[in-house]
Amino acid sequence: MKPTDDQILEILGDSGLVLSPSIIAFNAGFTRTHVNNRLSEFAEKGLVDRVERGKYEISEIGRGYLSGDVDASEL
């Protein structure tokens, strides 16, 4: 996990919404490309669900990670 990962996941988790990389990037102050790359990796690890192309929501595993119940090294 990278230092920016928690912030990206927290935006998804706190909003409770389906969001695009552009919206997350705008709110986090990161580039869309960076957020898109991280979301792709999160989807592979099960931290987020890809609802449809370019739209993501946090998964139960992602919520567990944010609450400290899931260790990133286990993913």
Q: Quick one: which of 16, 13, 17, 14 has its CA closest to 42?
A: 13
CATH number at residue 39: 1.10.10.10
What does the alpha-carbon distance between residue 22 and residue 73 come to, in Å, rounded to a whole number?
28
Number of domains present in the structure of the chain: 1
Residue 75 forms part of a structural domain: no
pLDDT in tens, 18-45: 999 999 999 999 999 999 999 999 999 9
SS3 46: coil
Predicted TM-score (pTM) of the model is: 0.90
Range of the domain at 54: 3-67
User: 46 pLDDT band (50/70/90 cuts)?
Assistant: very high
Average predicted confidence (pLDDT) for the chain: 94
Beta bridge partners of 50: 56
At residue 2, the pLDDT reads 81
Which residue from 7, 16, 20, 23 is spatially nearest to 56, judged by alpha carbons?
20
Query: What local confidence, expressed as pLDDT, does residue 1 receive?
Result: 80
Domain assignment present for residue 74? The answer is no
Between 24 and 1, the higher pLDDT residue: 24
Mean pLDDT on 53-75: 91
Dihedrals φ, ψ of 20, to 5°? -95, 160
